[in-house]
């Protein structure tokens, strides 16, 4: 069965899938080695558009940003050119998103200098005749 492109952004999705040869481009960002022969080499995910997976039915690849941290929201991703997007199967995409969420939870909270409560020392203004 052929996979039809989405209703919105079909030319962009089709260009990304053509560049990826309708195959998931994950090379381990999801945490898996994608190594069916157990040769301990990092390989590309074997899933293709239209493959049957017992867990989810047919695989429909997702066009997602190469840099999911900085360009991960849907508005930014829709405005990117095809060369900055990659094709990922839903399982790899979900695993990458979970890894990013885990990393964000482990980061210390960012301090906003506008509301920083540390005291500042401001020296008194001297007279013009004072030597500084």
Residue with tokens 């695989």: 59
The model scores a pTM over 0.75: no
Q: What is the pLDDT of residue 118?
A: 66
**String of DSSP letters for 74-109:** HHHHHTS-GGGEEEE-HHHHHHHHHHHHHHHHHSPP
Which residues of the chain form beta strands (DSSP E)?
52-53, 57-58, 62-65, 85-88
90-121 pLDDT, tens digit each: 899 999 989 988 988 888 777 666 666 667 66
38-65 pLDDT, tens digit each: 676 668 888 898 888 777 788 888 888 8
68-94 pLDDT, tens digit each: 877 767 777 778 888 899 999 989 999
8 Å CB contact between 56 and 92:
no
């Amino acid at each position: 069965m052929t996979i039809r492109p989405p209703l919105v952004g079909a030319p962009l999705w089709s260009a990304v899938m053509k560049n990826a040869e309708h195959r998931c481009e994950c090379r381990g960002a999801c945490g898996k080695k994608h190594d069916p022969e157990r040769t301990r080499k990092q390989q590309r995910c074997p899933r293709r558009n239209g493959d049957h997976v017992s867990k989810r039915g047919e695989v429909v690849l997702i066009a997602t940003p190469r840099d999911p941290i900085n360009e991960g929201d849907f508005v930014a991703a829709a405005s990117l050119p095809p060369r900055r997007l990659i094709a990922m199967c839903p399982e790899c995409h979900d695993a990458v998103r979970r890894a990013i969420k885990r990393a964000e939870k482990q980061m210390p909270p960012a301090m906003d200098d506008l509301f920083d409560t540390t005291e500042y020392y401001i020296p008194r203004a001297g007279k013009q005749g004072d030597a500084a």
